[in-house]
Amino acid sequence: MNEKLFSYIAACPSPYHTVAHTAAILADAGYTPLSEGDDWTLEAGKGYYVTRGGSSILAFRVPAADFRGFTMAAAHTDSPTFKIKENAELGGSYVRLATEKYGGMLCASWMDRPLSVAGRVTVRTPDGIAVRLVDLGEPCAIIPNVAIHMNRRANDGMTYDAATDMIPLWGGEAGSFRRQVAASLGLDEGDILTTDLAVYNPQPGTVWGSYISAPRLDDLQCAFAALEAFLAAPPSDCTPVLCLFDNEEVGSQTKQGAASTFLCDTLGRINLAFGGDAARYCRRVANSFLVSCDNAHAVHPNHPEYADKNHTVRMGGGVVIKYNASQRYTSDAVSAGLFRLLCERAGVPVQMYANRADMPGGSTLGNIANTQVSLNTVDVGIAQLAMHSALETAGADDTAAMVGALTALFAASPAMCADGSFRI
């Protein structure tokens, strides 16, 4: 399972690649692509997928008989990185890449590490523009540290200025960046109109003992697990939906993020295609369950003090259910209870996470998605160390545990009871 995960991560150096690669896997499995700009003719018993912005994707499989609701797992396609500005080259003693931060990375982990470049460009066509994916593949940039001899305070609590300290050194000569990007597509520099490019860590994932280390485990580990489970689950009375959203690392408030209308629009169109009016939509959403999957903070081996003593989660301990009284996590007794039951069915261990009461912690997809589609939702994840490092570490057995839990989700048929509890 982990080798398969590493292949997925390697094929997904940017959110655009994650969506294209996921779409290709779905197409291979017989799923039909839909465009938001076209009419949808949906058939019972068939599977479909639709993308938005090239960096978010929803896939669903309609049961052969009428369906009651949706079983959904959501994860995010993006990870913290340094986005390359449109006028990409900076002068100085060497050629450097003009970048700005995308998300909140651990800056130190990005230094002295061979980096590559991936994303997308637009090119002219006879009647408009076309999008082409770019992955330079090979190491071509590095963000160098200052030697300890010149900065004697380098080990005493560094601060990192994105505009000076974190600028990547580019491997090519002046004027070569755009040329090399174009050449990777068999194009001339002048063919490229505009770019969405960022650096990424091309290091392959590795299993070492009980652990795995790889770039972008947050949140491609959950995206991969959700995709595997979605494809593996047997039919149920519900429509399973795989939801991979971009822009979680910058707050989700984009046209394709979890705060967008993408999920709401898609569920609405599925409902309409299968005889649903507005009331039926409400009933179907009420009889649904959303599992928001984003990696969780494992207790740190050297710094256990950052974890809540009674809610420490550890790598190798199974799937994590996350709680937060301020509702940054959506889990409540009902949604967490249902998920715990699904894990029991799957034979998967669960562990309970809450932040220390004096630490705000992070946020994720579930409560944001609920502002557009409000339904029974739980926040879960896989325990990992060094979240937002260029290389993250997790438990070797936990990917399979998440696949098991989400397969049980997609096989389930939730139904809301009159008192607000659920059968599943």
Closest CB to Zn ion among 270 and 387? Answer: 387
Q: How far is the CB of 215 from Zn ion (least distance, A)?
A: 13
Give the binding range for Zn ion (CB under 5 A) out of 6-14, 45-53, 293-301, 318-326. 293-301
Q: How far is the CB of 222 from Zn ion (least distance, A)?
A: 8
Give the binding range for Zn ion (CB under 5 A) out of 38-46, 91-99, 213-221, 276-284. 213-221
Q: How far is the CB of 214 from Zn ion (least distance, A)?
A: 14
Closest CB to Zn ion among 243 and 416? Answer: 243
Q: Is residue 219 involved in binding Zn ion (CB under 5 A)? A: yes
Q: Which of 146, 299, 114 is nearest to 215 (CA)?
A: 114
Instruction: Produce one character per residue of 342-381: b if its CB has 16 or more CB atoms within 10 Å, e if not.
Output: bbebbebebbbbbbeeeeebbbbbbbbbbeebebbbbbbb
Closest CB to Zn ion among 31 and 245? Answer: 245
CB atoms within 10 A of CB 157: 6
Closest CB to Zn ion among 219 and 398? Answer: 219
Closest CB to Zn ion among 362 and 414? Answer: 362
Closest CB to Zn ion among 48 and 245? Answer: 245
Give the binding range for Zn ion (CB under 5 A) out of 14-22, 218-226, 253-261, 353-361. 218-226
Q: Which of 78, 294, 392, 398 binds Zn ion (CB under 5 A)?
A: 294
Q: How far is the CB of 344 from Zn ion (least distance, A)?
A: 26
Closest CB to Zn ion among 98 and 244? Answer: 244
Helices (H), 251-352: 262-273, 278-286, 333-346
Q: Is residue 398 involved in binding Zn ion (CB under 5 A)? A: no
Phi, psi of 380 (to 5 degrees): -135, 175
Contact flags string 159-198 toward Zn ion, x per CB under 5 A: ----------------------------------------
Q: How far is the CB of 244 from Zn ion (least distance, A)?
A: 12
Closest CB to Zn ion among 228 and 294? Answer: 294
- CA–CA dist 411, 405 (Å, integer): 10
Give the binding range for Zn ion (CB under 5 A) out of 83-91, 114-122, 184-192, 289-297. 289-297
CB atoms within 10 A of CB 293: 32
Q: Which of 78, 218, 379, 398 binds Zn ion (CB under 5 A)?
A: 218
Closest CB to Zn ion among 271 and 355? Answer: 355
237, 64 contact by CB (below 8 A): no
Residues in Cβ contact with 359 at an 8 Å cutoff, skipping those fewer than 6 apart: 306
Q: Which of 322, 338, 348 is nearest to 403 (CA)?
A: 348
* Tokens found for residue 43: 């058939």
Q: Is residue 246 involved in binding Zn ion (CB under 5 A)? A: no
Phi, psi of 58 (to 5 degrees): -120, 135
Give the binding range for Zn ion (CB under 5 A) out of 95-103, 187-195, 294-302, 349-357. 294-302
Give the binding range for Zn ion (CB under 5 A) out of 56-64, 219-227, 268-276, 279-287. 219-227
Phi, psi of 335 (to 5 degrees): -70, -40
Angle among Cα 219, 223, 224 to the nearest 5 degrees reads: 115
State the DSSP code for 122: E
Give the binding range for Zn ion (CB under 5 A) out of 33-41, 42-50, 214-222, 344-352. 214-222
Q: How many CA atoms lie within 13 A of 307 on its CB side?
A: 21
- CA–CA dist 308, 355 (Å, integer): 6
Where on the chain is the footprint of Zn ion (CB under 5 A)? 218-219, 294
